[in-house]
Structure 1
Amino acid sequence: MRTNSIILSICFALAGITAPVSAGELFAPGVISTGLQETSSAFSPDGHTVYFMRSDFSEKDDTILVSYLKGSQWSVPEVASFSGQWHDSEPAMSPDGKRLYFVSNRPVTPGGESLTVEMMGQRYPGTNLWYVEQQANGNWGEPVHVDGAMNDGNQVYNPSIAANGNIYFSAHRPDSGKFYQVYVARRTANGYATPERLDLGDADQNRMDPGVDPQERYIVFAGSGPDSLGSADIYISFRGPDGKWSKPEHLPGDINSPGLENAPTPGRAFGELYLSSSRSDAPQYPKVRDTLLTLQHRLASALNGSRNLWRFDISEVLRSHGIAQ
């Protein structure tokens, strides 16, 4: 995405026109999208509160933040009440707004060791699925660990919650092969069933970061394949009458770039899609000679190659597959 795309998005918004899928919008530049890493948006049902992850470039220091829409502006983010001490990331709101799920390396039992995992000879913070529940006063309660098979292996990422309580997530499990795959844990009268791997095409490619439609009509995810433009792109799959998922389609327009796209999340309005992207405004050479001030300003800007949050409109894609508002 380049600067002219941002200008086009602003023009569409001022004119009251719904932007096509090719016109992306950098989400709250300088406030939410900054020169650090931002990813994984989770909106309240009214769309006026957003939780997201902010991190350093190496993603060793992940924290969940919250921002509030005040008029037409998003507030300066604050550390979420349940975050700030552990490696917390990837918030996901239930459709009714009563639970907020996230992943963390915090100890499963108080006073225990933080979770770790070893992969390809390196040790990383492990991740288990947790949630906080909305209290009568509107605040979040204490984090609750999700017990059961979903957390097997300590490599659970990007939960997404359907209206019926089913939890979609990506993980590395015994049937994942070499790569991460997408799973669903179906809610039953007795808790959650054993997670099932979704058939989303070639299992010899990464399938990560599911964002499921609340009615489970479609799912978006980050993956790689022969048509990928970058290290990971955003794909969409539709659920048929038989419950099977269609062959994934590479989303069109400027949704994907030569950079990294991941963590797609359906927004609260029909056709809204939020995602994280590392696309940047690379300088053209020879560039106007920098001063130290202009260089530092550009290197600290949102479009410096860090991951930022972007908003797109995929309503036409959905309508073309028979999904109406």
Structure 2
Amino acid sequence: MINKKAVVKAGLLLTAIATQGSVQADDKLQTILTNLQPSLFAPNTVSTNQFEYGSSLSPDGKKFAFVRALARFEHSAIVISHKLGDTWQTPKLLPFSGEFHDTNPYFSKDSNIFYFTSRRPVEGAGTGGFKMWQVSFNGDQFGKPKLVPGKINGGHNVIYPTVHTNKDIYFSSVIEGAKGGMDLFVSKYHPDGYGAPIEITELNTTKSDADPELSTDGKLMFYTSTRAGGLGHYDLHVSVKQKDGKWGEPINLGEKINSRAMDSDPILSADGNTLFFSSDKNPEVKAVKDYQALLQRQKSIHNGLMNIYRVDITELNKYLRSKI
């Protein structure tokens, strides 16, 4: 005869063990997030007292493109810094940028194509929202920008696009019928032109979800969101692709990276172990006693304008991949 009390006791013990394992996993993740140490990227060269955001690192790690903007994102241009030895050099304006409102640079991972978004005029359509453009490059030689073909460019803005290794484009936009304000989408590659945007429903919320960046193998997606549970503004999150092909429950990257300010524009190094992001966090706010001190604070890097940060996420990368 089966001892029902013994079965119940064994069941409770297994539940306790499973719960303990879950708690340990959560504790490990929390420790990893707590140990993250973000720092300003190339201070006084890339990160300055000006308004910088929206970066992209070339696959060889020797070119760093980013955006210099006016306050409130009123106008922006794309600049590039080259690495000489261990030092990043003074940025230069890209030859096709500066006249129009250009933003969101992106180096393709497997070809000599450079992408960006812009409000520059489109033949037959005039100026309008942000469209996605591409330009060929070879070393420091850039060609003439061309509109990315297909339905990715429609009656919507294309914001912070990421071009995956299979050439699919992930981006954010406000498109009627989607779940929230700003939402995440993917436009599938086809040789004749990109397909219509497909909503990434498992990650979108009724809040704003934006700025997707995929790992090279497509298993991890970093993005920013105002979803519930954050620190008060846009927070960086990561999601792991599940066995069924859907994206898993997002993980907030914690208070070492996120702040009450805007934390956005995630970008990965080629090996996936370094995360770059933009933030207008201001960790050095101090009282001032006179006008000169006030001016000095406004001239400092931490003056409330956006800067670009980098953080080693090697341990986080290992942890997330252990869940795949």
- Establish whether TM, by shorter chain, passes 0.5: yes
- Counterpart among 251, 263, 267 of residue 249 in structure 1: 251
- Counterpart among 230, 233, 247 of residue 231 in structure 1: 233
What's the offset of the Cα at 1:190? 3.8
- Counterpart among 144, 152, 155 of residue 154 in structure 2: 152
**What code does the residue aligned with 1:114 have?**
T
d(CA) in 2 for partners of 1:161, 1:36: 28
Deviations 1:155-184, CA, capped at 9 Å, x for gaps:
110010111111111011122344011111
Are 1:38 and 2:52 counterparts? Answer: yes
Deviations 1:8-40, CA, capped at 9 Å, x for gaps:
xxxxxxxxxxx9852111011111111221111
State the match for 1:100 in structure 2: 114
**What code does the residue aligned with 2:126 have?**
E
- 1:292-311 matches, within 5 Å, as 292=292, 294-311=293-310
- Counterpart among 273, 276, 287 of residue 274 in structure 1: 276
- 1:182-261 matches, within 5 Å, as 182-261=184-263
- Cα 1:66–1:202, aligned 2, differ >3 Å: closer, same or farther? closer
d(CA) in 1 for partners of 2:202, 2:275: 19
- 1:8-19 matches, within 5 Å, as none
Query: Where do 5+ consecutive residues of structure 2 fail to align?
Result: 1-32
What's the offset of the Cα at 1:270? 3.2
Matched pairs, number: 292
What's the offset of the Cα at 1:291? 5.2
- 1:5-154 matches, within 5 Å, as 21-109=35-123, 113-115=126-128, 126-135=129-138, 139-154=141-156
What's the offset of the Cα at 1:192? 2.1
State the match for 1:179 in structure 2: 181
Deviations 1:225-247, CA, capped at 9 Å, x for gaps:
22111310001111122211101
Query: Where do 5+ consecutive residues of structure 1 fail to align?
Result: 1-18, 116-125
d(CA) in 1 for partners of 2:311, 2:206: 28
1:235–1:248 CA contact under 8 A, matched in 2: yes
1:21–1:252 CA contact under 8 A, matched in 2: no
Query: Computing the radius of gyration over CA atoms, which structure comes out larger, 1 or 2?
Result: 2
Tell me the percent identity: 29
What's the offset of the Cα at 1:113? 2.5
SS at match of 2:149: coil
What's the offset of the Cα at 1:189? 4.5
State the match for 2:21 in structure 1: none
2:216–2:272 CA contact under 8 A, matched in 1: no
State the match for 1:9 in structure 2: none
1:62–1:89 CA contact under 8 A, matched in 2: yes
d(CA) in 1 for partners of 2:48, 2:290: 21
> RMSD across aligned C-alpha pairs, in angstroms?
2.2
**What code does the residue aligned with 2:155 have?**
G
SS at match of 2:98: coil
4+ residue runs over 4 A deviation: none
SS at match of 1:192: coil
TM-score (norm 1): 0.84
**What code does the residue aligned with 2:305 have?**
S
What's the offset of the Cα at 1:277? 0.4
What's the offset of the Cα at 1:72? 2.2
State the match for 1:163 in structure 2: 165
**What code does the residue aligned with 1:150 have?**
I
**What code does the residue aligned with 1:222 have?**
T
d(CA) in 2 for partners of 1:74, 1:21: 26
**What code does the residue aligned with 1:233 have?**
D
- Cα 1:84–1:189, aligned 2, differ >3 Å: closer, same or farther? closer
